[in-house]
Structure 1
Amino acid sequence: MDSAAFRQAALALLGPKGFLTAPEELSPSLTDWRGLYHGKACGLALPASTAEAAALVKLTAEFGIPVVPQGGNTGLSGAATPDMSGDAVIVNMRRMNRIRALDTANDTILVEAGCILSAIQEAAAAADRLFPLSLTAEGSCQIGGNLATNAGGINVLKFGNARALTLGLEVVLPDGSVLDALTTLHKDNSGYDLKQLFIGAEGTLGLITAATLKLFPAFKARSTALVALSDLAQAPVLLGRCRAATADQLISFELLPRFGLELAQKHFGLRQPLEQLPAWALLIEAATPSADFDIALALERALGEALEAGEIGDGLLAESESQRGDLWRLREGIVNAQPREGVCHKHDIAVPVAGIPAFVADAGAALARDYPAARLLCFGHVGDGNLHFNLLQPAGGDGAPFQSLAPAINQLVHDHVAAHKGSISAEHGIGQLRRTELRRLKSPVALQTMRAIKAALDPQGRFNPGKVL
């Protein structure tokens, strides 16, 4: 490995705007979003075309340089941070940010990997279409990173995650060859669905350079409600009721705990719209592309029936876009308040929707038994089974001792996840954070198959080393 020769060749290929080595230029890319992981790199490559990306990867193969693909660097599992060796080159696609085509007849949009997610949403909206992938970091995350991590977000209940929204990919393979699978077809059964190998692979199998994505009719109306649950066990029941009443136009079904609402109020002064803070609340949103379907009336009827059945207590329907924004700010406030409370052990887990109440009871009791001073913050996308099951350090305590408990806390939570037939990573990925737990809990046959795919596509193990496997 000759890093100096590689840097010289990469600079000649990409130019001074396309290959950066100054410490101040590299620094933002060397730490993950949460500040848990830090690394070094021999350079930051910014290819401006697929041809440049392919030529760059060929150079890395020639010189034996590891490659760390990185999008907006908003990930939560350390998948885009290089190790401390300084050998790797970080490849960021931000100069490849064009929307190549938008087809309203076919309801597709073809974008380069460096496109910011919100820019894709805006382009779709300008054509009276919807691209439904939506998450907190949408103003800075890149679609290539969204695909590499199979991002989820708040609309998965209706539209699925990134994998479900993708028709085709263009990928530079570790040898520098380009896999052109940028189909715009909605039906293509001609062999293996190769794009699915790279979606969710976290950059370990190749470098995504472009994608064909699905579009949907734009929403004409939406209705948003906040309701107090009488008991967490009623959440799956209410979910089914609301989906049926709205003709399956439910797009979000978010669990908000009392502790989370208290944190949003404490740190951001957010007003609580319900008279009393419930143990559990649900933020529910339905939306329709039909101007003739009264979605607000449908949701109101469903909640009225739920009230009569004793499934919910207090509640309200947003009567304006401003009120709707206030409700969603409560949800965002829960997320943003966590760093202000000190060390937080985050668990991005999924269990079958019907099993959520039992999982929360079982895992919550185990945490209370073993860590009685710690504070459980359980919230998230309960409609699709994805919970952010987080444990915050004791109030006023020292974060360092609590940080050291991460392996034991993670194992306890993940053992309960496994017992309830769930997943230890619903949408944030494995990265560096969950490698040990993946090896511990994934079936040996599944791990063997994953390693075989990795060996076939990246025999030198240069692409995002130390991540996932």
Structure 2
Amino acid sequence: MLNPVTPAFEDQLRSLLPAVAFKEDTAPYMSEPRGRHAGTGIVVAPASTEEVAALVKACAAASVGIIPYGGGTGLVGGQLSDQGPKPVVLSLERMNKVRAVYPTENVLVCDAGVILADVQKAAEDADRLFPLSLASEGSARIGGVLSTNAGGVNVLRYGNARALCLGLEVVRPDGTIWHGLTRLRKDNTGYDLRDLIIGAEGTLGVITGAALKLSPRPVGIGAALMAVSSPQAALDLLALAGARIGDGISAFEIMHRQGMDFLAEVGPKQREPLDEIPEWSVLIDVGLPAGLSPDAALEGVFEDGFEQGLVTDGVIAQSRAQRQELWDIRENIPEANRRIGSISSHDVALPLSVIPAFIEQAGAALAALGDFRINCFGHLGDGNLHYNVFPAKGRSRDDYDGQAADVKRIVHDLVAQMDGSVSAEHGIGRLKVADLEKYGDPVKLAMLRAVKDALDPKGIMNPGAVIEAKPAQ
């Protein structure tokens, strides 16, 4: 059974850590990006692994819950809670140092509170690339990125956060420190604890440091937006592009015209690169070594796709500025979605071959339920769709009271039937705990609970996230 933070316990923490570690204004830490949920707790920001360990040890002794807090950009409530006893919100913002860069090893070691964009910049300064790229990279922190196993737009080529991490430093739920900050690429000495912690969303310990994989910077980069006749055509074009360019494809994004319409309706305003907004389009990004032309590669994909009836129109960026304009369309769609206000949003993953059938069947099922606008877009290259359902034009989501649960059920039931996942890259947090219970394999759930009980027997680490919190005894 967890205990709340009391004035006496807060005084105890203040005797362990400097005054600067305590945030008097806690409001910025008690809301999430979409403003739908609130949190509670005191906010403490240690500046070192040793300070984190001291804080966690004290919380363990007092059975006080801890919610690790990175950049606060998560969309499933993993970084806040207003349920249960008042917790300690452990912010990593003061642990923000790049500890070392090893260019010849293609490795960067940093604190868990370093902002993702700063890791990218440190890699660039060493003429290397840290390829993980997210819409929230200007505020997301490495600890949170790893704890949620974030993906982003370059998973097709470089993998998600797990694939980009070699080692971790972690404060365990009892306050001891696991010194796993290895730079080794081969280490078969027992269970892979790194992979256990990555994606655990702070429920098994607090990540305080990470050794990250870097890559050579591509010399030739390019992008193209191509109109395709259907989701199946987009999938076929992905296969065609893979055959022509191979690992040179960094990203392959699919977008429905609804996203473009939202941008035109509520902004951010974008210049439409094609004469007519297509029903479906794909954004292809490539990065090639010296001696290979990205423009020629993309032109070849367009020509073959056109000949095969997959592509109907397209534009190839002629400069870095034009490439960024194409990416601005894709990256601003989530902001337009937020301005419209969804009835129900879904971050799902599916086997690539079933995606066209999913889009068709989900659309038909929702049309039978009511009048909706559907904005389907995302990372086709790795099977991750953002399938978001919105009110009909001229109506608000308040007009659909009581239907959000039915919308989610229709979408998630179909995803489960097609052997997909109801959480592709945002994690489970607190908002999807019931979904994991409903759609998860019972044996997997039992194993997850066994791991949680073994590593965090008091249940103090991010209680209520991923796994249901232990009931009061």
Show the counterpart of 1:229: 228
Where 1:387 maps in the other structure, the secondary structure is: strand
Q: Distance in 1 between matches of 2:438 and 2:449?
A: 15
Question: 1:39–1:86: 8 Å Cα contact kept in structure 2?
Answer: no
Question: Equivalent of 1:417, from 415, 418, 423?
Answer: 415
Task: Show CA shifts across 1:362-386 (max 9, x none).
Answer: 1111111112x11111001011100
Q: Distance in 1 between matches of 2:396 and 2:223?
A: 40
Q: Distance in 1 between matches of 2:217 and 2:121?
A: 11
2:149 counterpart of 1:146: no
1:14 to partner: Cα distance: 1.5
**TM-score with structure 2 setting the length:** 0.96
Question: 1:117–1:140: 8 Å Cα contact kept in structure 2?
Answer: yes
Show the counterpart of 1:124: 123
Show the counterpart of 1:15: 18
- The one-letter code sitting in structure 2 at the alignment partner of 1:135 is L
Show the counterpart of 1:32: 32
Question: 2:390–2:397: 8 Å Cα contact kept in structure 1?
Answer: no
Q: Distance in 2 between matches of 1:108 and 1:449?
A: 33
1:85 to partner: Cα distance: 4.4
Question: 2:350–2:420: 8 Å Cα contact kept in structure 1?
Answer: yes
Range 111-120 or range 264-273, more displaced: 264-273
Show the counterpart of 2:386: 388
Where 1:277 maps in the other structure, the secondary structure is: coil
Matches within 5 A, 1:40-51: 40-41=40-41, 43-51=42-50
Question: 2:268–2:335: 8 Å Cα contact kept in structure 1?
Answer: no
Show the counterpart of 1:360: 359
Show the counterpart of 2:204: 205
Show the counterpart of 2:108: 109
Where 2:253 maps in the other structure, the secondary structure is: strand
Question: 1:3–1:65: 8 Å Cα contact kept in structure 2?
Answer: no
Question: 2:376–2:385: 8 Å Cα contact kept in structure 1?
Answer: yes
Q: Distance in 2 between matches of 1:248 and 1:117?
A: 24
Question: 1:411–1:437: 8 Å Cα contact kept in structure 2?
Answer: no
Report the count of equivalent residues. Answer: 463
Show the counterpart of 2:471: none
Show the counterpart of 2:470: none
Question: 2:342–2:390: 8 Å Cα contact kept in structure 1?
Answer: yes
% identity of equivalent residues: 44
Q: Distance in 2 between matches of 1:145 and 1:174?
A: 17
Unaligned runs of 5+ in 1: none
Question: 2:201–2:429: 8 Å Cα contact kept in structure 1?
Answer: yes
Q: Distance in 2 between matches of 1:189 and 1:236?
A: 37
Where 1:105 maps in the other structure, the secondary structure is: helix
Task: Show CA shifts across 1:295-347 (max 9, x none).
Answer: 22122112111111111101110001121111111112211101221334110
CA RMSD of aligned residues (A): 1.2
Where 1:260 maps in the other structure, the secondary structure is: helix
Question: 2:70–2:141: 8 Å Cα contact kept in structure 1?
Answer: yes
Question: 2:99–2:111: 8 Å Cα contact kept in structure 1?
Answer: yes
Q: Distance in 1 between matches of 2:52 and 2:434?
A: 32
Unaligned runs of 5+ in 2: 468-473
Show the counterpart of 1:285: 285
Show the counterpart of 2:318: 319
Q: Distance in 1 between matches of 2:88 and 2:57?
A: 13
**TM-score with structure 1 setting the length:** 0.97
Q: Distance in 1 between matches of 2:360 and 2:439?
A: 22
Q: Distance in 2 between matches of 1:404 and 1:62?
A: 44
1:398 to partner: Cα distance: 3.8
Q: Distance in 2 between matches of 1:348 and 1:89?
A: 29
Question: 2:149–2:161: 8 Å Cα contact kept in structure 1?
Answer: yes
Matches within 5 A, 1:337-348: 337-348=336-347
Range 79-88 or range 182-191, more displaced: 79-88
Show the counterpart of 2:451: 453
The ranges of structure 1 where at least 4 consecutive aligned residues each deviate by more than 3 angstroms after the TM superposition are none
Q: Distance in 1 between matches of 2:29 and 2:86?
A: 14
- The one-letter code sitting in structure 1 at the alignment partner of 2:415 is V
Question: 1:204–1:465: 8 Å Cα contact kept in structure 2?
Answer: yes
- The one-letter code sitting in structure 2 at the alignment partner of 1:275 is D
Q: Distance in 1 between matches of 2:401 and 2:159?
A: 34
- The one-letter code sitting in structure 2 at the alignment partner of 1:293 is L
1:441 to partner: Cα distance: 0.6
Q: Distance in 2 between matches of 1:450 and 1:84?
A: 22
Where 2:19 maps in the other structure, the secondary structure is: coil
Where 1:17 maps in the other structure, the secondary structure is: helix
Q: Distance in 1 between matches of 2:215 and 2:73?
A: 26
1:92 to partner: Cα distance: 0.7
Question: 1:263–1:333: 8 Å Cα contact kept in structure 2?
Answer: no
- The one-letter code sitting in structure 2 at the alignment partner of 1:202 is E
Show the counterpart of 2:164: 165
- The one-letter code sitting in structure 1 at the alignment partner of 2:161 is A
Where 1:334 maps in the other structure, the secondary structure is: helix
- The one-letter code sitting in structure 2 at the alignment partner of 1:194 is L
